[in-house]
Amino acid sequence: MTERFTGIFTQQEPIPDEGIEAALRILKNGRLHRYNVVAGEVAEAALLEQEFAAYTGARYCLGVASGGYALATALRAVGVKPGEPVLTNAFTLAPVPGAIASMGGVPVFVGVTEHLVIDLEDLEAKIALTGSKALMLSHMRGHICDMDRLMAICDAADVIVIEDCAHTMGASWNGVPSGRHGAVGCYSTQTYKHMNSGEGGLLVTDDEEIAARAVLLSGSYMFYHAHPAMPGPEVFERVKYDTPNVSGRMDNLRAAILRPQLRDLDTQVARWNERYRTLEDGVRGTPGLTVIERPEEEFYVGSSFQVLLLDWAADKVREVVKRAGARGVELKWFGAEDPAGFTSRYDHWRYAPSEKMPKSDRVLAGIVDLRVPLTFSLDDCALIARILRAEVGAVHQQA
């Protein structure tokens, strides 16, 4: 009998009871706005910022409305001006070039390697070609490049680095938390990320002026004293009249939901990685399928899983996706001609035109991707791997 998977790839675990109770307290007192507090009260948003700063080892932290808002805020806070080129990965999702374009920057795409990380040789070439002084580095789908080498390249060229850590909250390179190599780290707490508040984001930095500008940009209305995870008032005094309000604050309700999830994050990361390794072990050695080998320096969070069907004809990849889908396994393909859901390619975004990149196109055409929610058991992941192995094998035999 042919096995079939019946799980739901978009089903998350429930919010922890502690988070539900905290949310109910906020709902009952009605003080959802982060600056609406009574005497002696510290807002849930401010407490989350302190706790996330401590978790990442950052001096400063700001909670915001979304990960994409954090990215655009970071660009403004570091001083990127409209019309300036900003480097970013060819393998990323729409919010990254979208953040660059939203504040008038010009996205310049850098290639992707077979390890699904930014091509550092192409990065050096694009820095020289464009003179760009900013890189928005996307740790796409949780894959972290050699951050030591990347920072050496960027520091030598005076390029400021903003890290998109939407898929790497809880991950690290050589023991340094993701988001802590560059000038700014940006994280998402959207439902499909490592902490779930529906929408939301966090921004961390050690630079006091970047931090102050980010707070003012988020819409502080000069309540910057209500941010204990931020620099002193003298820093805000230097920049407050030159920094526009682009409101995008995190509210107390979302912060209350997130705080207990942050306390459990390391445990959740370990659970994700068990599931990732089960999938990896289950498909390794499948003819025609390439497993993405992870370097020793990378501590990853396996909340999604990617394999490569390198140099396969497009109709054969579509056949794998179709056959796996018929057995309940929802695969995403980055080689599709049109963007679909949370899958897209650099050449889909007409607001960010780019020359073709054949080496990267070859890799993107082979990326097959699936979510790994914690509602899946290890047995579920073993079943998914068996189905993927069987369907890839069946189509490969036809070639």
CATH number for 345: 3.90.1150.10
Q: How many CB atoms lie within 10 A of CB 4?
A: 11
DSSP H or E segment with residue 177:
strand 176-177
Dump pLDDT digits (tens) for 311-345: 999 999 999 999 999 999 999 999 888 887 778 88
Residues 53 and 95 in one domain: yes
* Same structural domain, 237 and 181: yes
**Would you state the pLDDT for residue 344?**
80
CATH number of the domain within which 212 lies: 3.40.640.10
Q: Are residues 44 and 166 in the same domain?
A: yes
Got the DSSP string for 224-289? GGG-TTS--HHHHHHHTTSS-----BPPHHHHHHHHHHHHTHHHHHHHHHHHHHHHHHHHTT-TT-
What is the spatial distance between Cα 298 and Cα 309, in angstroms, rounded to a whole number? 23
Domain encompassing residue 276: 265-398
Spatial contact of 233 and 225, defined as CB atoms under 8 Å apart = yes
Q: Are residues 190 and 299 in the same domain?
A: no
Q: Are residues 209 and 68 in the same domain?
A: yes
The pTM (predicted TM-score) of the whole model is 0.97
Last residue of one domain, picked from the residues 263, 293, 326:
263
Assigned domain for 12 exists: no
Same domain, 169 and 242: yes
* pLDDT for 204 beyond 70: yes
Q: Per the domain annotation, does 288 fall within a domain?
A: yes
In angstroms, the CA 175 to CA 184 distance is 17
- Supply the DSSP symbol for 348: G
**H/E stretch holding 338:** none
SS3 state of residue 132 = coil
Could you say which of 213, 242, 263 is where a domain stops? 263
Phi, psi of 366 (to 5 degrees): -105, 0
| 258 token code pair | 């997130």
* pLDDT at residue 226, as a whole number: 95
Residue 272 lies in a domain: yes
Nearest CA-CA partner of 304 in 274, 330, 326, 276 = 276
d(CA 90, CA 82): 21
Give, in order, the Cα–Cα distances in Å from 284 to each of 157, 161, 281, 382: 40, 35, 5, 12
- What is the per-residue pLDDT for 107? 97
Give yes or no: residues 160 and 291 share one domain: no
Q: Which long-range contacts (CB under 8 A, 24 or more apart) does 381-386 make?
A: 381/275, 381/278, 381/279, 381/282, 382/278, 382/282, 383/3, 383/5, 384/5, 384/279, 384/282, 384/329, 385/278, 385/279, 385/281, 385/282, 385/283, 386/3, 386/282
Helix (H) or strand (E) holding 152: helix 147-156
Amino acid letter, residue 293: E
- Which residues have CB under 8 Å from 279's CB, separation 6+? 302, 305, 372, 381, 384, 385, 388
For residue 183, being part of any structural domain is answered with yes
- Residue 11 in any domain: the answer is no
Residues whose CB is less than 8 angstroms from the CB of residue 70 and which lie 6 or more positions away in sequence, other chains included: 62, 64, 186, 187, 188, 201, 202, 203
Q: Angle formed by the axes of helices 44-56 and 252-263, to 10°?
A: 30
Same domain, 216 and 295: no
User: What are 49-96's pLDDT values in tens digits?
Assistant: 999 999 999 999 999 999 999 999 999 999 999 999 999 999 999 999
Give residue 341's pLDDT. Answer: 75
Residue 152 lies in a domain: yes
The CA distance from 206 to 70, in Å, is: 15
In this structure, is residue 277 part of a structural domain?
yes
The verdict on residue 297 lying in a domain is: yes
109: number of Cβ within 10 Å: 25
Is 399 a residue whose pLDDT tops 70?
Answer: no
143 and 200 together in one domain: yes
- The pLDDT tens digits for 125-140 are 999 999 999 999 999 9
Using alpha carbons, select from 47, 80, 308 the residue that is nearest to residue 183. 80
Nearest to 91 by CA among 393, 390, 365: 365
Same domain, 106 and 88: yes
pLDDT, tens digit, for every residue of 246-294? 999 999 999 999 999 999 999 999 999 999 999 999 999 999 999 999 9
Averaged confidence pLDDT in the chain: 96
Pick from 5-9, 176-180, 207-211, 341-345: least confident: 341-345
Task: Clarify whether residues 365 and 297 are in a common domain.
Answer: yes
Do 246 and 323 fall within a single domain? no
* 288 torsion bin: left (phi>0), alpha (psi -120 to 50), beta (else): left
Total domains in the fold of the chain: 2
The confidence score (pLDDT) of residue 86 equals 98
Strands 106-110 and 85-89: parallel
Which residue, of 218, 233, 263, is where some domain finishes? 263
pLDDT, residue 339, reads 80
